[in-house]
Structure 1
């Protein structure tokens, strides 16, 4: 094989691979940033957190993520999910836990980022419309807090929206990409 042919094939392969790897970057999606504040309390437990997309009529369009103590024996961590009151009443009690791709362990204090692209399980059936991102946190021997951010799906342009909790949640961001 000549060097010219080898270079030509390498270029074609590189372009094809680049197109495949670059394709997801153009898909519509949303990014969620959640800050779990560091609290100076005598007995600290990581909060249980639920994130979901809610329709204008307050029904749940999609549960994005649920963080809870998945390592307790006999699935005992699921028993405390009802402390995420809004999420539990609206959809949580109807779900068989754990939910693949949705549930995961609690997170430590700090900033956490999640990304959801159009076509993923959480956004697959989300029609165009007005919604709210809702994040609820509840902590044993602590408090409970709910933060909401209204948004329109799909996004007409890239934008970042934010809200701030006052106790169990810090800054919450919502990055929308068209």
Structure 2
């Protein structure tokens, strides 16, 4: 509710060295992420940063004990997904959710230009 950043879950960008920190140079184009938290971080972020992935379907699985979700207080949150292409568009979508989730209900949103269908599945520990 206070619009603070609770956790960084994944940041994908070019990590190969073609020039000194060349991939990190473009992270500021992820405008919302950069303004809210990115510029304050030391990159790469262990367990969060990863190489850019090709277009397609991707899955990110996070365990509450080993991810930024470990210390997440109960409450209402928004998952922000932001994408930028080098010579292309930019898009950000949001999925509001409550933590901890009452049921295993998937939450979905669809992008219009750079992002396709995105589903957030929060499952209960068994």
In the superposition, the TM-score normalised over structure 1's length comes to 0.67
Q: Moved runs in structure 1, 4+ residues, more than 3 A? A: none
Say which one has the larger Rg. 1
Confirm whether residue 167 of structure 1 aligns to residue 113 of structure 2.
yes
Listed as ranges, the matches of 1:25-174 within 5 Å are: 56-72=1-17, 73-174=19-120
Which structure dedicates a bigger proportion of its chain to strand? Answer: 1
Q: Which protein, 1 or 2, shows the higher relative CO under an 8 Å CA cutoff with sep ≥ 6?
A: 1
Unaligned stretches of 5+ residues in structure 2: none
1:19-56 alpha-carbon deviations (Å, 9 max, x no partner): xxxxxxxxxxxxxxxxxxxxxxxxxxxxxxxxxxxxx2
Q: How far apart, in 2, do the equivalents of 1:137 and 1:79 lie?
A: 15
* C-alpha deviation, 1:74, in angstroms: 1.8
Which structure dedicates a bigger proportion of its chain to helix? Answer: 1
Unaligned stretches of 5+ residues in structure 1: 1-55
Q: How far apart, in 1, do the equivalents of 2:104 and 2:9 lie?
A: 20
How many residues align structurally?
123
